Structure 1
Amino acid sequence: MANDIDSAFDFRPGAQVPLSGAAGETAATHALASAAYRDSDVDEILKANSEWHKSEVKKGRLSLFKPDLGEAFARAVQVRMLGGARKPLIQSFGTEPQAVVEHCLAATRIRKERDTRLTGVTVLFGVLFLPGLLMWLMIFQIKKTLSGSENKRTAALGTAVLVVACGLAVIFLIKLPFAGLLGIYVRAMVIAPVIGWLLARQICERTAQDLRGRWESLLAGGGIGAKIPEAVPGSPGETAAERLRQGLAKLTAEQQSNSVFYAGPKGILGMGTRWGSWQLAEDLVPREGTKEIHPFRSWDVIRSIHDQLRMLERGPLHTGGFPTPSIRHWIVSPVAENAKEVARPSGTDVEAFQVRGHEIQRICNEQQFGSGDRHYLGVQFRLWDGQLVITMLITVTVLHETLRIEVTGHALGPVHTLFTTKPKAKVKEVSKTVKFWETREIKQPLIEPLDVVRLAARAPFTWFPPILDYLGGKLVLPEPFGLRHAWADKPWRHRFMADDALRAATPVLRVVHAAAIRVLEENGVDTERFGTRSLLLSGLVQDPTPSKADVYDA
């Protein structure tokens, strides 16, 4: 990469306008962003693991310090996508990764404000009465450990331990063997943490309502804007804010990179696996009446195809049809199937993560055989509010006297349903007092009693995240990491999405073939065989069954 990447895309005068995403790509973005506000168990995210990309939850030393899903997700995403020494990221097609990261920062800020209040409560009602605090924490740790057991008897024993401890505490207060100031302190040592717990519960409940409101608003389509004032430098000396702002700008620039990575059976990272492949390969023979064909290069064919693909959204009938596609030249680098990181192209031919035009043209014309990067022309449709990303890739190669035009289809499905579930109100159904045959719902607190203890115990360590990671564990993201493909589901389980992916192939294939044949005719090539082969492929592409084209059964 060229030196000082930030200078290539940062410090533009005027307002900073996000480059990533497009209008209507909100569903997938909001679904992923909502994870930052969730208060469910962190292990829930393991349900969203796919065949190729698996998250892990690294366990800590004490289950009492275990983070919830929102805390772990926001922390992991921030570090991975904004960290100073972070590895290259995979593009998140159909989403705006900067918006997701901003929501993670906003959620962290809300929790830090809560933790500031909880720390004050912990110091006043806990640290000043440390022996009592440690005693209660030990009791709750035992309860949490026993309650997490799959054995029902062991889980019930955890509740029994807490009940017995409370009973002993009451007896201890009534028949205390100490008198005077020591007796008062010992009584306060038992009571103060309980009072602190009551205050902490109110603080946690208010924050939980705020977080859940943002979670629900995002999935409802409205979306509360992420407020991150810490990313706006107020003066030249605010280096932390400036680094954060530059990190967000770098993230947006990397999202726009035109280099992608092919990981064998995993397909192109970020675009999904290859579900179909159609190849037109025939000899370049001069047309009858001409001695030889006019010289041309692969780039001439690609340029003609590019121009024709821009007309895809137009048709003879007013039936809606294709939305405006994104048509780009991609540089594809091969990586190992189980590679844990990727390396983007670097050097004078790259600027702000973008491979320059002259280098793209050189790769298209010269790197068609052997090692090295390859050139693909891609037409991409981002549908269903970003939940479905259909990419058709075209490559043209000329080896000896044979010209080959290959069209491959890639499909990236919707984000896992875990991210699209709305928060459920915590209610308890009970019988009415008089009309006992009827029931009514009683609203329950959003925060469980044990969760209040967990949050209060974690609060003082919020400013030392590595310690929290050590004590409570953390979420380990799949590598190479990209927000979109890490938790993408297969589109074939959704009938309409599958239909859209299959329907896009035929018109794209025919436009590609028509444009290529036109260039061949202009250069004196006999196109009869190309036309016959094209008609055959037009029939094969209508096969309604997608396949695993990246898995070679040999």
Structure 2
Amino acid sequence: MTVESGYADFFGPQVPRTGDEGQTPTFALASAAYRDNEADEILKANSEWHKSAVSKPRLKLFRPNLGEAYSRAIIDRMLGSGRAPLIQSFGAQPQVVVEHSLAAHRIRRERDNWLSAIMVLCGVLFLPGLLVWLLVFQIRTTMAKRDDKRAGALATALLVAVGGLAVLFLIRMPFDGFWGWYARASIVAPVLGWFWAKRICERTARDLRERWDSLLSGGSVGAKVPEAVPSSPGETAAEQLRQSLARLSAEQQSNSVFYAGPKGILGMGTRWGSWQLAEELVPADPDREINPFRSWDVIKSIHDRLRMLERGPLHTGGFTKPSVRHWIVSPIGENAGGVSRPEGADVEAYQIKSHAIQEICNKQQFGAGDRHYLGVQWTLWDGQLVITMLITVTVLHETLRIEVTGHALGPVHSLFTSKPAAKEKEVQKSVRFWETRKVKLPLVDSDEVVRLAARAPLTWYPPLLYWLGGKLSLPEPFGLRHAWADKPWRHRFMADDALRAATPVLRAVHSAAIKVLGRTGWTRRSSGPGRRP
């Protein structure tokens, strides 16, 4: 028997799994739809292989925050008409994330409807005053974003100065009659609209933050998406949304994955360990008739043996119930911008049929084409760690070769697990100036109210809003979980779990292969133990 072991970089990969019950990654990814941080915060979660991007806004007044950009990007990418195929989000439930993105978008849409009405009543009807106030806030926002501390103070002074000029203009109006009163209303109406909009924005912000906190605290907050439930045959939009969600769930259960060169199997990452068993086949008894076998016979025996891993002779805990499944791996380029799912008579609802899997296992072992792997995987740490061992069997001439590779997917980036913090800042004490104290800030400040009110009318035409304020671009080929997975070996116990799973699997694979050889009348002639250089 030849056993070769090698270790490569232990990147944050991901493992195909069906029916897992880990909720932590799902709720962490869903919570991003309710957040009110700056959109650039998501760039902290970029990894070596998967990088999101936030386009630079042409006008900062129209820039989105993290929740707005994230939920819009998720909805467009995962439910858009004619969308490209997705990479499975193993260890998570992408439909739940999409539903929360829809729910967050619906809450913001209701807020924007009110803000749009306020903009019409208090802004568009008094357009000169609105444009002046928007110009002031745009200049103030641009100045406040500079690193120079004096710029922030100057921006605040600008707003105070303009307010003083507005009061003076009201008192000493240079016009009389209708235009005089219209000029006064143009100054006052946008300010009154701002106070009205502030109450609406604060109410929505509290709702969004409560949902954000509840998801990360294990609460029972659910995503309300009534627009996905058709109430009559004529509601085509609701029916299309329902079908898109059903398609998303079906694609999540697909048994085909993609190998992208150094990036490894997409959704699983690069492998951290590889073991190979190579046997020269010889008849056990030359005088006795032997039975031929194929790769599928060995795979079936390994499959049956792996299903018994949860059962052990000692009552000391051990393995949880594994998921054992057949996978078809398709090769794509390292820098491929997308993938294409298999199609044809051998595919049904994104699932490659059993007879096609068996044919690939037996015939496509050398040269071009897809390859077959048998995977055994566990979802641990409430879904934060997913471990897989992939097994492939080849029979070339008189050599039986079995390769086992280990993969591990770590937790989602800590950015997604951070709870909402109270908005506050440190200021110097008035008397003991060498000490500081924390001062609570309003949940929605004046700049945020203006930003939301200015964006509200444009939310009905997203392309213009994207052009003015920018948007979030997701990494391709896109999958929710692997795009923001962290490295599992940063957690000592997670790394230990991944390493400990290897030996029992290797022993089960070896004993199953020897059992097939003995049953068919073959034996092995080993070249001795060796190690991959």
TM score, norm. by length of structure 2: 0.93
Match of 2:134 among 137, 151, 158: 137
- Provide the C-alpha distance between the structure 2 equivalents of 1:410 and 1:75, rounded to a whole number of angstroms: 32
Q: Which residue of 2 aligns with 1:83?
A: 80
* Aligned-partner Cα distance in 1 for 2:506–2:172: 87
Give the alignment partner of residue 358 of structure 1, picking from 355, 360, 363. 355
Assess, with a 3 A threshold, how the Cα gap between structure 1 residues 251 and 491 changes in structure 2: closer, same or farther. same
User: Offset at 1:436?
Assistant: 12
Pairing 1:460–2:449 present:
no
**Aligned partner of residue 378 in structure 1, secondary structure:** strand
> What does residue 12 of structure 1 align with?
none
Secondary structure class of the residue paired with 2:366: coil
Q: How does 1:75-114 map to 2 (within 5 A)?
A: 75-114=72-111
Which residue in the other structure is 2:4 paired with?
Answer: none
In structure 2, what is the equivalent of residue 278 of structure 1? 275
How many Å separate the matches in 2 of 1:279 and 1:128?
75
Q: Counterpart in 2 of 1:36? A: 33
SS of alignment partner, residue 502 of structure 1: helix
Q: How far off is 1:385 after superposition?
A: 1.3
2:276 aligned counterpart, secondary structure: strand
CA contact 1:62–1:472 (8 Å) conserved in 2: yes
| Greater Cα offset, 58-67 or 237-246 | 58-67
Matched with 2:237 is 240
Name stretches of at least 5 consecutive residues in structure 1 with no aligned partner. 1-19, 541-548
Aligned residues between the structures: 517
Task: Specify the alignment match of 2:113 in structure 1.
Answer: 116
Q: CA deviation at 1:432?
A: 9.9
Aligned match of 2:50? 53
Say if 1:145 and 1:436 are closer, same or farther in 2 by CA, change over 3 A.
Answer: closer
By how many angstroms is 1:289 displaced? 5.0
Q: Which residue of 2 aligns with 1:70?
A: 67
Q: Which has the higher contact order (CA 8 A, sep 6+)?
A: 2
Distance 1:327 1:290 in 2: 39
Q: Which of residues 273, 286, 294 in structure 1 aligns to 2:291?
A: 294
Deviation at 1:430, TM superposition (A): 7.6
* Native 8 Å contact 1:205 1:446 kept in 2: yes
Give the corresponding residue for 2:13. none
Q: Calculate percent identity across the aligned residue pairs.
A: 70
Cα separation, partners in 2 of 1:106 and 1:86, compared to 1, 3 Å: same
Q: Which residue of 2 aligns with 1:218?
A: 215
Per the alignment, residue 381 of structure 1 pairs with: 378
Tell me how far apart the structure 2 counterparts of residues 145 and 297 of structure 1 sit (CA, whole Å): 69
Report if aligned partners of 2:411, 2:487 keep a CA contact under 8 Å in 1.
yes
Any conservation in 1 of the 2:389–2:502 contact (CA below 8 Å)?
Answer: yes
More moved, 40-49 vs 190-199: 190-199
Counting only pairs closer than 5 Å after superposition, residues 88-487 of structure 1 correspond to structure 2 as: 88-288=85-285, 290=287, 293-427=290-424, 443-487=440-484
Contact 2:20 2:383 in 1 (8 A): no
Instruction: Report the CA distance between 1:470 and its aligned residue.
Output: 1.2
Distance in 2 separating the partners of 1:438 and 1:471: 43
Aligned to 2:11: none
Pick which of 286-295 and 488-497 moved more. Answer: 286-295
Q: Which residue in 2 is equivalent to 1:508?
A: 505
Structure 1 counterpart of 2:8: none
SS of equivalent residue, structure 1 residue 73: helix
- In the alignment, the residues of structure 2 paired with residue 436 and residue 373 of structure 1 have an alpha-carbon distance, to the nearest angstrom, of 70
CA contact (8 A) 2:20 2:91 kept: no
- For residues 222 and 23 of structure 1, the distance between their equivalents in structure 2, rounded to whole angstroms, comes to 19
Would you say the 8 A contact 2:143–2:155 is kept in 1?
Answer: yes
- Alpha carbons 1:80, 1:86 under 8 Å: kept: yes
- Quote how far apart the aligned CAs of 1:292 are: 6.3
Inter-partner Cα distance in structure 1 for 2:365 and 2:32? 43
Structure 2 SS opposite 1:84: coil
Relative to structure 1, is the Cα distance of residues 290 and 80 closer, same or farther in structure 2, using a 3 angstrom cutoff?
farther
Aligned partners of 2:194 and 2:450 also within 8 Å: yes
Distance 1:56 1:377 in 2: 35
Where 1:393 maps in the other structure, the secondary structure is strand
Task: Tell me, in whole angstroms, the C-alpha distance in 2 between the residues paired with 1:410 and 1:498.
Answer: 11
CA-to-aligned-CA distance 1:71-90 (integer Å, 9 cap, x gap): 00000000100011100000
Q: Deviation digits for residues 393-417 of structure 1, max 9, x if unmatched?
A: 0000011111100000111111110
Q: Quick one: distance in 2 between partners of 1:54 and 1:293?
A: 55
The Cα RMSD (Å) is 2.2
